[in-house]
């Protein structure tokens, strides 16, 4: 306990000691300093946070398309699902593919009808039927007819595959836009020594590709 002594002289001539206790005042002052020390940074931090501008919403990050809706739109009209996913650059590619397939459909269909009619005119047994290809044998007419018929069937299959691929692309693209790729995904290339069968002392250095995926 801290004490302060002050001497005073009484009129009677006796000397008395006056003791003053300073300990309560010192404790109170220390508590006030500590409070000021801890409260000042917190107040400054709150003021800094109040001055910070509100975060702006990123429309690209907040956009989450529905895979089912994208697939339905592409099934209704090819390219609509890609427009819904905001992948506009895919639409010209899709219609260029359908345009190419339509060209081959029309060409193979026209050629198949031409050679089929020529083959029918040859084998119908009617002498009044005009033969437009008298220099071609019946076997050659049949081979040409089968060739364009097969090409026509393949083109139909490719058109159906293009249509399904258009739907699948829209659905998968919407799924990938909703897929959360975290920072744990890592990719690296390292070089590791590989021992040689003929030389066990000095191993050869062979470049290897190491892919690490963490979830």
**Cα–Cα distance, 158 to 104 (Å, whole number):** 10
**For tokens 């040689």, what's the residue?**
196
Q: Where are the domains of the chain?
A: 3-8+15-44, 64-179
Nearest residue to 97 via CA among 85, 111, 82, 109: 82
What are the start-end ranges of the H helices in the chain? 23-51, 59-62, 67-76, 80-84, 90-123, 138-178
**Cα–Cα distance, 132 to 17 (Å, whole number):** 146
Task: Provide the residue-wise pLDDT of the chain in tens; the chain has 215 residues.
Answer: 444 444 444 444 444 444 445 565 566 666 666 655 555 554 445 454 555 555 554 544 567 889 999 999 999 999 999 999 999 999 999 999 999 999 999 999 999 999 999 999 888 877 777 888 888 898 999 999 999 999 999 999 999 999 999 999 999 999 888 766 555 555 555 555 555 555 555 555 555 555 555 55
Torsion of CA 99, 102, 103, 104, to 10 degrees: 130
């Amino acid at each position: 306990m801290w004490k302060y002594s002050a001497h005073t002289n009484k009129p009677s001539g006796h000397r008395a000691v006056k003791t003053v206790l300073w300990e309560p005042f010192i404790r109170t002052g220390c508590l006030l300093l500590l409070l000021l020390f801890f409260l000042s940074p917190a107040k400054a931090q709150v003021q800094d946070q109040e001055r910070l501008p509100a975060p702006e919403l990123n429309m690209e990050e907040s956009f989450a398309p529905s895979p089912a809706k994208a697939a339905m739109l592409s099934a209704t009209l090819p390219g609509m699902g890609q427009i819904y996913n905001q992948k506009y650059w895919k639409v010209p590619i899709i219609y260029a593919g359908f345009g190419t397939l339509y060209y081959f459909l029309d060409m193979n269909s026209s050629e198949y009808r031409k050679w089929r009619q020529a083959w029918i005119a040859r084998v119908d047994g009617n002498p009044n039927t005009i033969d437009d290809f008298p220099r071609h044998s019946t076997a050659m007419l049949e081979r040409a007819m089968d060739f364009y018929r097969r090409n026509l069937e393949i083109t139909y299959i490719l058109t159906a595959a293009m249509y399904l691929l258009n739907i699948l692309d829209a659905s998968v693209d919407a799924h990938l836009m909703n897929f959360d790729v975290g920072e744990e995904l890592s990719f690296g290339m390292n070089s590791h020594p590989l021992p040689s069968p003929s030389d066990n002392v000095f191993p050869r250095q062979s470049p290897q590709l190491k892919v690490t995926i963490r979830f």
